[in-house]
Amino acid sequence: MTSSPLLQIRDLNVRFHGERTVHAINGLNLSLGHGEMLGLLGESGSGKSVTLKTLLRLLPPKRTMIDGSIEVNGTDIMTLSGKRLSRYRGGDVSMVFQEPALALDPVYTVGEQIAETVMRHRGIGRREAMEVALDMLVKVRIPSPERRLKNYPHEMSGGMRQRAMIALALSCRPKLLLADEPTTALDATVQIQILLLLRELQKEFGMSIIFVTHDIGVAVEIADRVAVMYAGNIVEEGSIHDIIRDPRHPYTRGLLSANLHDVARGTRLEAIPGAPPALNIKPASCQFAPRCAHVMPACTSALPPFVSPGEGRRVACLLERGRELA
């Protein structure tokens, strides 16, 4: 491991209060190295998007309580405001979403939007910015880029719009790209094109990527390391090899067997019973216990601590007690 990671999240807690209280993130710790590709896995409501939005400081401040620290390249981003915050957003860190409509403005051409962002962040003129925009469309391999520069988002297909959004997100050469299920809405054949593209661009630009997905198959195609979330915290983390070959947390194991890869027809699936918790109170014990086949009395009395069963791995499950590395 290098001495200073690009991203360091310490004891992050995010709570929404409004009509009902949601403890969305509960004591999350995460670090990410330079040039690393992390897959963030977990089911709906486990806090994947909230983690990314917190990183970009996108959550509504009035209804959100955040504590903990987040450092990007040594800067505490929780203290940023005004000009420095907008330079950080889209400059050092940028994001691609599942739905390009959230990022692309329907009334401007794709070229204008990329140029606008580049001008704002780099302080260069329109002509030069348009050249950067063209260069970006070439980089994301959009066919006939000169013509596409003048297209409005609705004139493009889904896959092409997703490429345009990636071009926009990368136009200021971010050090960290946050990708929130960017291929979930795409066809399988287009999805794999976009995954391969992201892999190439990551190498070319030397950036780090956090890639959110609920599909472990997608994580296998793209990630070096995987963090599995459940009920607002990471429950297991390790290299993609470790997670695939030797999952330790009962939730991770359940996810893998539910993937149906090579499961014989007509057999009964090993489904995880029940549903995820509501998160209206702050977790004080293993949140997976009501669905876990291995639950013990101790699981319901305190939060299971992290145990490291191997190099670069951690698991929050009492079954791992006594298995830590010497």
Ligand X SMILES: Nc1ncnc2c1ncn2[C@@H]1O[C@H](COP(=O)(O)OP(=O)(O)OP(=O)(O)O)[C@@H](O)[C@H]1O
Which residues of this protein are in contact with Mg ion, per CB under 5 A? 49
The sign of the CA dihedral 76, 79, 85, 90 is: positive
Among the listed ranges 45-53, 105-113, 217-225, 301-309, the one in contact with ligand X (CB under 6 A) is 45-53
Quick one: which of 5, 42, 145, 159 contacts ligand X (CB under 6 A)?
42
- Kindly state whether residue 215 participates in binding ligand X, applying the rule CB under 6 A: no
> In this chain, which of 44, 81, 144, 189 binds ligand X, going by CB under 6 A?
44
Residue with smaller CB distance to ligand X, 44 or 81 = 44
Query: Where are the extended beta strands (E) located within the chain?
Result: 7-16, 22-32, 37-42, 64-72, 75-76, 93-96, 176-180, 208-213, 225-230, 233-239, 314-315
For residue 163, state whether it binds ligand X (rule: CB under 6 A): no
Residue 214 binding result from Mg ion, ligand SF4, ligand X, none, given CB thresholds of 5 to 8 Å by partner type: ligand X
- 99 part of the interface to ligand X, by CB under 6 A: no
Name the nearest CA neighbour of 251 among 304, 312, 179: 304
What does each C-alpha distance from 193 to 163, 181, 206, 218 come to in angstroms?
Answer: 10, 14, 20, 12
Q: Would you say the C-alpha torsion 163, 169, 171, 175 has a positive or negative sign?
A: negative
Distance (Å) of CA 39 to CA 93, 271, 325: 17, 23, 24
How many residues touch ligand X under the rule CB under 6 A: the total is 13
SS3 273: coil
CB of 278 to ligand SF4, least distance (A): 17
Residue 320 Cβ vs ligand SF4, minimum distance, rounded to whole Å: 8
Q: Is residue 250 involved in binding ligand SF4 (CB under 6 A)?
A: yes
- Give the whole-angstrom CA distance, residue 146 versus residue 102: 24
- Please choose, from the candidates 22, 35, 37, 56, the residue with its C-alpha nearest in 3D space to the C-alpha of residue 227: 37
DSSP 8-state class, residue 5? -
Taking CB under 6 A as the criterion, the residue among 10, 294, 321, 323 binding ligand SF4 is: 294
Residues that bind other proteins (CB under 8 A): 43-44, 143, 157-160, 186-193, 195-196, 214-218, 220-221, 240-241, 244, 251, 254-255, 257-263, 265-266, 268-273, 275-276
- According to DSSP, the residues that pair with 89 across neighbouring strands are 93
Measured from the CB of residue 304, what is the shortest distance to ligand SF4 in angstroms? 4
Q: How far apart are CA 141 and CA 163, in angstroms?
A: 8
Q: Please choose which of other proteins, Mg ion, ligand SF4, none residue 49 contacts, taking the beta carbon within 5 to 8 angstroms, the exact cut-off set by kind.
A: Mg ion
Q: Note whether 16 binds ligand X by CB under 6 A.
A: yes
93 to 72, 87, 236: CA distances (angstroms): 9, 9, 25
Answer with the entry of ligand SF4, Mg ion, other proteins, none that 315 interacts with (C-beta below 5 to 8 A by kind): none
Contacts to ligand X by CB under 6 A: 16, 22, 24, 42, 44-50, 214, 279
